[in-house]
Amino acid sequence: MQTVKGSCHCKRVEFEVDLINGHQNIRRCNCSICSKKGAVMAGVTLDNLRVTRGADVLSVYQWNTKIAKHYFCRVCGIYTHHQRRSVPTE
């Protein structure tokens, strides 16, 4: 288990993620929004993600089925994490 820290660009939002297999499961999603962002991501369960700062400045973007939740900092606009439509517990 490896814990990594991340943040948005303006640092108002900070989070920690527990990676069970380190950086082994890093991938790119090909859905319409992720392909435009070009972000790489690691899949973890919700209890392995902790927003440690700035939860109040996170906004969520949803469309279509409104199951997936794409979180971003509403100050700097940077995507921080999302909950998937296919596996909403991740």
Residues that bind Zn ion (CB under 5 A): 8, 10, 12, 73, 75-76
Residue 17 or 85: the one with the smaller Cβ distance to Zn ion is 17
Residue 22 or 77: the one with the smaller Cβ distance to Zn ion is 77
Residue 49 or 85: the one with the smaller Cβ distance to Zn ion is 49
Residues 82 and 77: their CA atoms lie apart, in Å, by 14
Strand, helix or coil for residue 34? helix
Structure tokens that stand for 82 in this block: 């999302």
Q: How far is the CB of 71 from Zn ion (least distance, A)?
A: 11
The CB-nearest residue to Zn ion is 73
Which residue's entry shows tokens 């909403």? 88
Local structure of residue 71 (DSSP, 8 states): E
Q: How far is the CB of 76 from Zn ion (least distance, A)?
A: 3
Local structure of residue 35 (DSSP, 8 states): H
